[in-house]
Amino acid sequence: MGDLAPLLPWLFGIGIVAVLVVGFVRERKRRDRLMQFATLRGWTYVAEDPRLVDRWPGEPFGRGDSARARNVLGGTESGRPFTAFDYSYETHSTDSKGNRTTSTHQWMVCVVPMQGFLGHVQVVPESALDRLAGAVGLASDIDLESEDFNRRFRVSASSPKLASDILTPRTMQYLIGVDAGAWRTCGSDLVGFRQGRLDPADVVRTCSVLGQVQAGIPSFVWKDAGGPASGYSPGA
């Protein structure tokens, strides 16, 4: 062991380089797969767009530092325009010995523009609550007419009435039966988000879910809200 001691720092450095190289190769292959899928689907691909980092309030945005929006996909899915991307940020902690640790948090975000502006309504699966903080400024844990829905989801909103208007019995029944992830209305957008990295299959599913949610919003909600909508387009 003594003979190897002088080599340990060198071996340690080689190990770090190897891990970085493997990570780079995997990420490169993943980007290639995303680009190929986008091409086949008729979507666009942008490697990174800093404008998306602080475009929307609420989870998972506004936390930590070094936030990035990468692998931005855009186009039309389920008959509706969308934008989806990898969102990441870093948090830091220090132990009793002063050692600093950096953690990177990965999220998939998918945004579908709506036909008008609405107040905030957020729906989060109960299973995800340990990863999400309370929505600041929103009435939380609103109970709706469906007990089954109330057991499965936590609803926060700027107005309990708006939550009740948007989440009709038909929409609640639909959400119970699908892997909806977390989502919220945000100005003129529906923002879907879940922990993890961007996956094309998740984009297709999330676009479908958000499209069904929007289609289920009663016409009187739009009349009460008013106002035109404007969505984000990659490269705009």
Question: Does the bond joining 60 to the residue before it have cis omega, within 30 degrees of 0?
Answer: yes
Tell me what pLDDT residue 47 has. Answer: 94
Instruction: Identify the bridge partners of residue 121 per DSSP, sorted by sequence position.
Output: 157
Contact assessment for residue 135 and residue 121, using Cβ atoms and an 8 Å cutoff:
no
Confidence of residue 18 (pLDDT cuts 50, 70, 90): very low
Confidence of residue 94 (pLDDT cuts 50, 70, 90): confident
Tell me what pLDDT residue 11 has. Answer: 53
pLDDT, tens digit, 9 for 90 and up, residues 127-145: 754 445 444 444 467 889 8
Distance CA 230, CA 81 (A): 11
User: Given a cut of 60, is residue 116 above it in pLDDT?
Assistant: yes
Tell me what pLDDT residue 153 has. Answer: 94
User: Given a cut of 90, is residue 99 above it in pLDDT?
Assistant: no
Structure tokens at 133: 């903080």
Contact assessment for residue 117 and residue 225, using Cβ atoms and an 8 Å cutoff:
yes
Tell me what pLDDT residue 93 has. Answer: 84
The CA distances from residue 63 to 53, 54, 163, in Å, are 11, 10, 25
Say what the pTM is.
0.80
Q: CB-based burial of residue 150 (10 Å sphere; 0-12 exposed, 13-18 middle, 19+ buried)?
A: middle
Q: CB-based burial of residue 11 (10 Å sphere; 0-12 exposed, 13-18 middle, 19+ buried)?
A: exposed
Residues of the chain with pLDDT > 70, as a percent, come to 79
The whole-number average pLDDT for the span 58-80 is 92
